[in-house]
Amino acid sequence: MPNPTADFRSDTVTRPTPAMYDAIANAALGDDVLGDDPTVEALEAYAAETFGKPAAMFTPSGTMANQAALMAWLRPGDEILCEAKCHVFNYEGGGAARLSGAQPRPIAGPRGQMPLEALAEALAGVRPANEHLPRTRMIALENTHNLHGGAILPLDYIRAVRALADREELIVHLDGARLANAVAATGIAFREWVAPVHSVSICLSKGLCAPVGSLLLGDDAFIAEARRARKVLGGGMRQAGLLAAAGRIALESMVDRLVDDHRRARDLATGMATLGYLDVDPEAVETNILSVGVSGVDGGAPALVAALAERDIRCIAFGPERMRLVTHRDVDDDDVARAIDAFVALAP
């Protein structure tokens, strides 16, 4: 049966798999706030092992995982160097300032990579300590990078950032909401990706299809502090094993299939690239996100998105001339073909 709606808005729309429903129904439960939900504990232990980090914490969302990390690492007045289009800076409600009292310093970077020279320049003069300057404390990375069309930060780049951070005694935090896509696309394991960073968040509820949940990982002292932050944020959940049961399946068995999403994203880009009014380079599509420039359409990207919705194809406008399409387990090859047909029909 074809899907009634081809929903390319986000990989967060994915529904739990039948195996997840089974696991939810059969999960052993306790009270995670009291520290005895066995399914949450098992997920955290499995994640710590998989990522090669000493400790892990389950959170309701990726935003909470990132913000708890910032709260654990930072003090008021601290500065975070982050890529200008990153989620932590743009889409977390100003949380860095509001919750940690920290000041993000955005640095533009092609494909999500802040140039190393720009980072070095931003750090020039930070030491010896000067009371006029904010205390630069963290470099925040995002992999894969959402607003840069699912671009993968190369491992060598992450290692180089860590080397720079070590020289200045900075923390490197990785927003790895879609790190699983980087794992699937490259064959490089989670533990290799995160070895150069002090802390990492990963979402189980995006392409990995869990209904709710993220993880934050790092060393024991950091996770202990992040648990305090999660409590403050209201993120202590009682019988959270229901969610962790699905999250375990997400991490254990949903990573490899992401290559199908990546192939469909490239197919979609290939179909769109020939139409003349949509700016997308299939060669640049590394994972499951298409960031597409729109030109020559009356009303721009919002009008095009509305016209697609009338044909039961959903995606999101990002500003007047850009739209985003994301592939995931709940869109299939027919949906991709339907979307391309619609773009052909709607060409100005």
Ligand X SMILES: Cc1ncc(COP(=O)(O)O)c(C=O)c1O
What value does the CA radius of gyration of the chain take, rounded to a whole number of Å? 21
Question: Which residue lies nearest ligand X, judged by its C-beta?
Answer: 62
Q: Name the residue nearer to ligand X (CB basis): 162 or 324.
A: 324
Q: Name the residue nearer to ligand X (CB basis): 17 or 66.
A: 66
User: Could you give the string, one character per residue 281-320, with x where binding to ligand X holds by CB under 6 A and - elsewhere?
Assistant: ----------------------------------------
The token duo for 127 is 């030491």
Give the nearest distance from C-beta 177 to ligand X in angstroms.
Answer: 3
Give the nearest distance from C-beta 145 to ligand X in angstroms.
Answer: 7
CA–CA distance, 26 with 122 (Å, rounded to integer): 52
**Which has the closest alpha carbon to 208: 5, 42, 47?**
47
Strand ranges inside 14-167, DSSP E? 55-59, 78-83, 103-107, 135-142
| Contacting residue, 181, 199, 214, 291, with ligand X by CB under 6 A | 214
When asked if residue 143 is in the footprint of ligand X (CB under 6 A), the reply is: no
164 alpha-carbon distance from chain centroid = 23
Give the nearest distance from C-beta 316 to ligand X in angstroms.
Answer: 11
Give the nearest distance from C-beta 297 to ligand X in angstroms.
Answer: 26
CA–CA distance, 289 with 144 (Å, rounded to integer): 10
When asked if residue 87 is in the footprint of ligand X (CB under 6 A), the reply is: yes
CA–CA distance, 165 with 204 (Å, rounded to integer): 28
When asked if residue 261 is in the footprint of ligand X (CB under 6 A), the reply is: no
CA–CA distance, 79 with 139 (Å, rounded to integer): 9
Question: Among all chains, which residue has been given the structure tokens 């975070």?
Answer: 80
Report the alpha-carbon angle 102-56-225, nearest 5: 40
CA dihedral 61, 302, 151, 186 (to 10 degrees): 80
Give the nearest distance from C-beta 169 to ligand X in angstroms.
Answer: 26
| Contacting residue, 23, 102, 177, 292, with ligand X by CB under 6 A | 177
Q: Which of residues 46-65 bind ligand X (CB under 6 A)?
A: 61-63
Q: Name the residue nearer to ligand X (CB basis): 107 or 177.
A: 177
Binding site for ligand X (CB under 6 A): 61-63, 87, 142, 146, 175, 177, 203, 205, 214
